[in-house]
Amino acid sequence: MRRISGAVRLVGGVALAVLAGTALAAAQDARAAIEAVNKEFMAAVIRGDAAGLAALYTTTAQALPQGGDFAKGPAAIRAVMQGALDAGIKQLVLTTLEVETHGDTAHEVGAFTAKGKDGAVLDQGKYVVVWKKEGGRWKLHRDIWNSSQPPKQ
């Protein structure tokens, strides 16, 4: 009996370890996938491609830009992105600091540096993105950021 219950415990333990391993692998996959989308985001900024940026968001996404109101949906988000490009942003460096996954939803905490002509740093700050899997791809669903630089007086 002890041997059997020991075996059951062992099998149960292995099953739990496999489940935990699967969950860990899924979380690592999500982080890798999200970082890959961020690379696409950075590439689209370099191209000056506001439509390409907007395409990385879900169809019901909201961007929450500093200095402006909620931008809801692809057209409004594209306009926010165009505004940032028009303001002189030539490069955006995104650094993922944390990704936590809950099924088809994840949240990311990260830091950004916005650069202008000749690599001049225009702004540095941080962001939180709620990601959703839509059509099998991770997409930005809620996107808020702010500057870490003190405001102009």
Residue 2 CB, nearest approach to its own copies (Å) = 35
Any contact of residue 130 with its own copies (CB under 8 A)? yes
Please tell me whether residue 113 binds its own copies under the rule CB under 8 A: no
Q: Does 64 bind its own copies (CB under 8 A)?
A: yes
DSSP the chain: -HHHHHHHHHHHHHHHHHHHHHHHHHHHHHHHHHHHHHHHHHHHHHHT-HHHHHTTEEEEEEEE-TTS--EESHHHHHHHHHHHHHTT--EEEEEEEEEEEETTEEEEEEEEEEE-GGG-EEEEEEEEEEEEEETTEEEEEEEEEEE-SPPP-
The verdict on 116 binding its own copies (CB under 8 A) reads no
Residue 132 near residue 138 (C-beta atoms within 8 A)? yes
Binding to its own copies by residue 82, rule CB under 8 A? no
Phi/psi at 47 (5° precision)? -75, -15
Site string for its own copies, 23-62 (x = CB under 8 A): ---------------------------------------x
Rule CB under 8 A: is residue 128 a binding residue for its own copies?
yes
Residue 146 near its own copies by CB under 8 A: yes
User: Which residue in the set 49, 79, 93, 107 belongs to the binding site for its own copies (CB under 8 A)?
Assistant: 107
Query: Which one of 25-33, 40-48, 68-76, 88-96 is the stretch in contact with its own copies (CB under 8 A)?
Result: 68-76
Query: Which parts of this chain interact with its own copies (CB under 8 A)?
Result: 62, 64-70, 100, 102-103, 105, 107, 109, 126-128, 130, 142, 144-153
